[in-house]
């Protein structure tokens, strides 16, 4: 399943192979243990920084690799083929937090935070709330201007990387009377007064990835820690999430490929009625169809990432890639369990983990229905001109 690699440059191929080697040799031995314990191994967090995974697009002057968005997508895909939890840990750092700081923060904030984000600080993106999911701008968290600082009050829910993070991109409404036009983005450090990490969710899948509640009770944030302009946080959120959806697409195609490859190896080894079950036509038609769908999803994700790097519109393509790749991941993981037969339903084999991990793809960073809305709006805009 490597034909899409012809789309990669020699440098990208080398990077891809390096990440693949790390995932198979250094990450793989710890995946099932981390899933059981619902915790990311601190040693692997450290290795993510040492490998340069946590600052792929960040300029060299801040300690980053100064590479492309597409390169980050390659890393996420390769990591997800071994562990989707680790992949989303790297994904959120790059496609959401770092991207937002790079694009919207002023020079002083970049100089203060980006060197930490490349070397030691995990980042987290805090938008969702108990009453604000798909309706992302129905935020209840408020930000009060107190002269030389802001005071934030509210609760965030389902925050990825929240358990390990040192820096949080928090969205709060500085002018509730202005509706979504009051939403503002803030960089909040874990140690700020009034900030705390609450309950950790006990999840179906991606269990090693922390998903937590954040609590702000008169949380004091320095005046200079506004990311972008006051009241323009909705723009930061929308445009950052458009990029993040490509990252989730990469996670899903990696997951689909990982499940598929496990299933193919098992079907070739498994003998029934005197031959490998992979040689039965009924099986061949099924896995041939899956391989085709995974390849199509990969090309959609790659295309959206290339458009982003080229500075061209990509919102529709990102939504399509996220929508389709999450569907393909679910289907691939489900079929892979079936291809394994009875052992696929046990924790003795790793395939059931891919099945559990796949479900989240249709939910986070915009549900499938939200992707369909984005696609439909883009199509109407194109055809009604």
Look up tokens 């080229």; give the residue: 310
Residues 6+ positions from 196 with CB-CB distance below 8 Å: 214, 215, 217
Q: Are 127 and 176 in contact (CB under 8 A)?
A: no
Bridge partners, residue 185, by sequence: 171, 227
Q: Is there a contact between 173 and 223 (Cβ–Cβ < 8 Å)?
A: no
Do the bridges between strand 123-126 and strand 167-173 make them parallel or antiparallel, or are there none, so unpaired? parallel
Instruction: Return the structure tokens found at 106.
Output: 């002023």
Paired with 219 in beta bridges are 152
C-alpha 176: how far from chain center: 29
Supply the DSSP symbol for 88.
H
Q: Which residues are registered as beta bridge partners of 173?
A: 142, 183
C-alpha–C-alpha distance, residues 16 and 76, integer Å: 10
- List Cβ<8 Å contacts ≥24 apart for 126-131: 126/156, 126/159, 126/162, 126/168, 126/169, 126/170, 126/171, 126/188, 126/214, 127/156, 127/171, 127/237, 127/241, 128/156, 128/157, 128/158, 128/159, 129/154, 129/155, 129/156, 129/157, 130/155, 130/157
365 carries an active-site annotation: yes
End-to-end CA distance of the chain: 40
Which one of the listed residues 293, 365, 382, 384 is annotated catalytic?
365
**220-254 residues labelled b (16+ CB within 10 A) or e (exposed):** bbeeebbbbeebbbbbbbeebbbbbbbbbbbbbbb
Residue 205's CB is within 10 A of a number of other CB atoms, namely 21
| Residues recognised as catalytic | 365
């Amino acid at each position: 399943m490597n034909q899409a690699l012809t789309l990669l440059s020699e440098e990208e191929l080398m990077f891809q192979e390096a990440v693949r080697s790390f995932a198979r040799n250094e990450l793989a031995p710890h995946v099932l243990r981390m899933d059981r314990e619902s915790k990311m191994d601190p040693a692997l967090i450290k290795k993510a920084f040492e490998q340069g995974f946590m600052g792929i697009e960040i300029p060299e002057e801040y300690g980053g690799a100064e590479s492309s968005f597409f390169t980050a997508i390659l890393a996420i895909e390769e990591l997800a083929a071994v562990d989707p939890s680790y992949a989303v840990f790297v994904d959120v750092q790059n496609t959401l937090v770092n991207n937002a700081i790079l694009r919207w923060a002023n020079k002083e904030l970049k100089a203060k935070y980006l060197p930490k984000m490349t070397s030691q600080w995990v980042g987290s993106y805090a938008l969702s709330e108990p009453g604000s999911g798909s309706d992302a701008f129905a935020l209840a968290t408020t930000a009060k201007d107190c002269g030389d600082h802001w005071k934030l009050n509210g609760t965030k829910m389902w925050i990825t990387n929240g358990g390990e993070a040192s820096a949080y991109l928090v969205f709060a409404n500085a002018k509730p009377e202005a509706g979504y036009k009051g939403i503002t983005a803030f960089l909040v450090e874990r140690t700020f007064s009034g900030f705390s990490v609450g309950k950790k969710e006990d999840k179906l899948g991606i269990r090693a990835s922390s998903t937590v509640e954040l609590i702000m009770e008169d949380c004091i944030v320095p005046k200079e820690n506004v990311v972008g302009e006051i009241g323009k946080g909705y723009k930061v959120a929308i445009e950052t999430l458009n990029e993040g959806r490509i990252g989730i697409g990469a996670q899903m195609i990696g997951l689909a490929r990982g499940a598929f490859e496990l299933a193919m190896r098992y079907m070739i080894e498994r003998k029934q009625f005197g031959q490998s079950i992979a040689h039965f036509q009924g099986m061949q038609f099924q896995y041939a169809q899956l391989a085709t769908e995974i390849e199509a999803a990969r090309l959609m994700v790659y295309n959206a990432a290339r458009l982003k790097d080229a500075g061209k519109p990509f919102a529709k393509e990102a939504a399509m890639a996220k929508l389709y790749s999450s569907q393909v991941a679910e289907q691939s993981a489900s079929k892979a369990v079936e291809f394994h037969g009875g052992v696929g339903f046990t924790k003795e084999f790793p395939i059931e983990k891919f099945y559990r991990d796949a479900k989240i793809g249709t939910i986070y960073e915009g549900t499938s229905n939200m992707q369909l809305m984005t696609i439909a709006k883009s199509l109407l805009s194109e055809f009604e001109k």
